[in-house]
């Protein structure tokens, strides 16, 4: 049994790297822990997907894709994942990792898919791409169950209950949709002064659903109230001189935010 550790400033500042893996010679483009925290899913520009045991650091599976690898996310089974294609076509692919076998392809985008977000409660997921389309999918069905054609490239995220999803547009608008009536359009819409120094690149609800964290390809991260749209906080100071879309996320207790920086030492 893994002992629970309360997240605090003291705990975080006392942490040190326990192991360094150099299995990839090119950029790692995706990282995600399984829901139980026991496995780490890693996608790379070398077209490989790896799963590490989070306790031992051992790589349990390594899979190579002929279609390219990006935006790798676990499904609700830690033996399966979704990933987007970088070659051949613009599909989202549903992969069984132990058997290295694709279960299903989700084909509708006409340009590269840049984001995938899985519902936390069921088999629904969202995808969005450079074609400015947002698709709603069910893992059990190859065709999309919903689509929104937007004026600008979107980004999206489900809330913790899987009932509401937020869609960010043009780094200045957040639309809220009810999954049960998404075809009726957004039930709420928040407008912001457009960021001129950076673009929105990722959205993430807080664990209690009360806040939305907006990541950018600049040095700032913004936190808004998910009910009123009020800008609550702008987190500044992270290093990102290369304009990389660095994702920020809440800690599981919602009290802190984690984000990477572009400075590194190999």
| Superfamily of segment(s) 150-256 | YVTN repeat-like/Quinoprotein amine dehydrogenase (2.130.10.10)
Q: What is the DSSP-derived secondary structure letter of residue 45? A: T
Closest CA to 94 of 71, 61, 121: 71
The C-alpha angle with vertex 135 and arms to 30 and 115, in degrees rounded to 5, equals 15
Domain boundaries, the chain: 150-256
**pLDDT score recorded for residue 266:** 36
Closest CA to 54 of 27, 34, 30: 34
Kindly write down the DSSP assignment for every residue of 141-199, as one continuous string.
-SS-SEEEE-SS-EEEEE-TTSSEEEEEETTTEEEEEEGGGGGG--SEEEE-PPPSS--
Task: Kindly report whether the global pTM for this prediction surpasses the value 0.85.
Answer: yes
- pLDDT, one tens digit for every residue, the chain (266 residues): 556 778 888 988 888 888 888 888 898 999 999 988 899 999 999 999 999 998 888 998 899 999 999 999 999 988 899 999 998 889 999 999 889 999 999 999 999 999 999 999 999 999 999 999 999 999 999 999 999 999 899 999 999 999 999 999 999 999 999 999 999 999 999 999 987 889 999 999 999 999 999 999 998 999 999 999 999 999 988 888 788 888 999 998 999 998 887 765 43
As a whole-number percent, the residues of the chain with pLDDT over 90 amount to 71
């Amino acid at each position: 049994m893994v002992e629970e550790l309360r997240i605090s400033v003291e705990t975080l500042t006392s942490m040190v790297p326990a192991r360094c893996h150099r299995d990839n010679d090119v950029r790692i483009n995706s990282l995600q822990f399984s829901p139980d925290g026991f496995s780490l899913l890693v996608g790379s520009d070398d077209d490989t997907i790896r799963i590490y045991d989070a306790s031992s650091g051992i790589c349990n599976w390594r899979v190579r894709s002929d279609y390219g690898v990006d935006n790798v996310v676990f499904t609700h089974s830690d033996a399966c994942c979704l990933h987007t294609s970088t070659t051949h076509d613009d599909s989202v692919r549903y992969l069984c990792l132990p058997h290295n076998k694709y279960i299903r392809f989700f084909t509708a985008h006409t340009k590269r898919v840049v984001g995938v977000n899985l519902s936390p409660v069921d088999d629904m997921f969202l995808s969005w791409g450079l074609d400015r389309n947002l698709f709603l999918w069910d893992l059990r069905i190859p065709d999309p169950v919903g689509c929104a054609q937007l004026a600008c490239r979107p980004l999206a995220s489900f809330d913790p209950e899987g009932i509401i999803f937020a869609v960010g547009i043009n780094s200045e608008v957040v639309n809220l949709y009810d999954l049960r009536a998404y075809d009726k359009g957004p039930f709420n819409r928040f407008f912001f002064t457009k960021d001129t120094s950076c673009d929105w690149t990722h959205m993430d609800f807080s664990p209690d659903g009360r806040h939305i964290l907006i990541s950018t390809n600049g040095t700032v991260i913004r936190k808004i109230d998910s009910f009123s749209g009020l800008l609550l906080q702008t987190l500044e100071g992270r290093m990102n001189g290369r304009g990389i879309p660095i994702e920020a996320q809440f800690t599981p207790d919602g009290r802190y935010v984690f984000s990477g920086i572009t400075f590194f030492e190999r």
